[in-house]
Amino acid sequence: ALIAPEAFTDNATGKVTPASTFAPMQGLKAEQVNKLIGEIFAAEGEIWDKAANEKFLYTLIAMECALQMGLRFVVLVDKDGNPVKGQSVSIKWNLETIFRLVGSDDQTKAVLRNIAAMDKVATKAGKPSPIEAHPLMKTAFRYFTDNYYKLADATKSSVNFNVSAWVTDSVNRNMKLWWDAEEGVRIEDVFQGKAMGLYCPEFKYGATGKLVNAMVRARLYNFLKNRSSSWEEGGTRAILMWDEFALGIGSGDMEANMLPIQRSLGLTSVFATQTITEVRARMGRERADALLDNLTKNIICLKTDAESYEFLAKKMGTYRAMVPSQRSKEAPVALDFFGTQRAKV
C-alpha cells in the first residue's frame, strides 16, 4: 500500500492512488516529537531557536497530560480568569494542535488552567493527582509559571518570533489530511508482513514533509526496540528503503542509534543518495562518515562524483580483479579474460 496525504496519478501507468489517513504523531511521546520538530526547524546554536524549542516541549507535555486526563476541549478565559462564552478550543494529539497551541498563549493558559482545576477536583476526592502521574507535567507548570510568563515582553516577543516562523514554515495546504489526523494507518504493520510505501517528499510538502518522514522513522524504530525479544515467533523482518536520504537525515541521531543493532531486531536498511558529498554537506563530515560506516556493508555505486569515489575506494581498499585481454578489446565478440591486477574502485 502506498500512503500519501493527497490523491495523485502515476504519469507512467495512469494509476490513481487515493489519499490515506495517517497520523504522524500517533504513538510518539512529547519529548520525541519535540526533538524532531527542533531538528527540522531550529538552527544549531541559535539561542532563540533553543528557547522556541523549549516552549514547544512544555506545550507538548501539557497536551499529553491533558489528553491522559480525558481533556479534549477547553474554554478560553479572559484576563481576569472568567470563561469567555462560545470560545473553546479542541485538543488532539496531532500536528494541528501543537502548532496552534504553541502559537497562542491564551489557548495554552486555558489548557493549563483546566489541567490544574481537574487535578484539584481529583485530589479533593481522594483520587491520585493526574499531574503527579505524568513524569514531566510539574516541570511544564514550572516552566510556564516561573519562567515563560515572567519574561520581559521584549524577551517573550523574541521567543515567539521564532515560534511564529516555525509555525509559518510548517503550513502546507496539501498536508491538511495528515495535519489534522489523530489516528490512521499503522506504519508499524510492516513488521507483520505488510508492504507499505510513504510518499511525502520535501520538495512537494516542504518542512512538514521532512518532519513527517522523521516521525515515521521514529515510530518504526520505537516499535523495533519495544517488541519482544522473541519477535520472530509472531513478527517478520522488514526492509526500510529510503531514497534521497541525505535530504531528510537531519542530525542522523536516530540512525546512529539504530543501525548498529537493527539486524538483531529484524530490520535491514537500504539508503540511497546521489553523492557522499551531499550527505557530508548536510550532516557535517565527521557525523556523516560515522553514519556511513554503519550503512556501507553492501554497496551499489553508479556514476557519482570524485569525493564519493574516494570515500568508496578507502572503504573497500584493493582487491584482485579480472581485466580484459588485448584480444578481447580488439574483437568485441571475444569473451576471453586473463590475468589479474591490483585495482582500486
Asked whether the beta carbons of 192 and 103 are under 8 A apart, the reply is: no
Asked whether the beta carbons of 96 and 179 are under 8 A apart, the reply is: yes
Q: How many whole angstroms separate alpha carbon 64 and alpha carbon 84?
A: 24
What are the Cα distances from residue 237, in Å, to 19, 108, 252, 315? 27, 42, 23, 28
- Per-residue DSSP letter, 303: S
Radius of gyration of the chain (CA): 26
Backbone angles phi, psi at 248, to 5 degrees: -130, 10
Q: What is the pLDDT of residues 77-127, one digit of tens each?
A: 777 777 777 778 899 999 999 999 999 998 999 999 999 999 999 999 999
What are the Cα distances from residue 199, in Å, to 4, 6, 176, 190? 5, 9, 15, 16
135-146: average pLDDT? 94
At residue 115, what is the residue type? I
Percent of the chain predicted with pLDDT > 70: 91
Torsion of CA 270, 273, 274, 275, to 10 degrees: -110
Rounded to 5°, the CA angle 184-71-128 comes to 120
Show the cell assigned to 87: 470560545
Backbone angles phi, psi at 119, to 5 degrees: -65, -40
Residue 328 has pLDDT above 80, yes or no: no
Q: 87: which residues sit within 8 A by CB, 6+ positions away?
A: 75, 76
- pLDDT-derived band of residue 330, with 50, 70 and 90 as boundaries? low
Show the cell assigned to 26: 500517533
Nearest Cα to Cα of residue 248 among 215, 290, 286, 285: 215
3-class DSSP assignment, residue 89:
strand
Q: What is the pLDDT of residues 187-241, one digit of tens each?
A: 999 998 899 999 988 888 999 999 999 999 999 999 998 887 777 777 888 999 9
Q: What is the pLDDT of residues 281-300, one digit of tens each?
A: 988 888 888 888 887 677 88
Specify the pTM.
0.84
Q: What is the pLDDT of residues 242-274, one digit of tens each?
A: 999 988 888 888 998 898 888 888 899 999 999
Asked whether the beta carbons of 75 and 44 are under 8 A apart, the reply is: no
Q: What is the pLDDT of residues 21-47, one digit of tens each?
A: 999 999 999 999 999 999 999 877 788
Asked whether the beta carbons of 216 and 24 are under 8 A apart, the reply is: yes
Proportion of the chain in helix, strand, coil states, percent, rounded to 5: 55, 15, 30
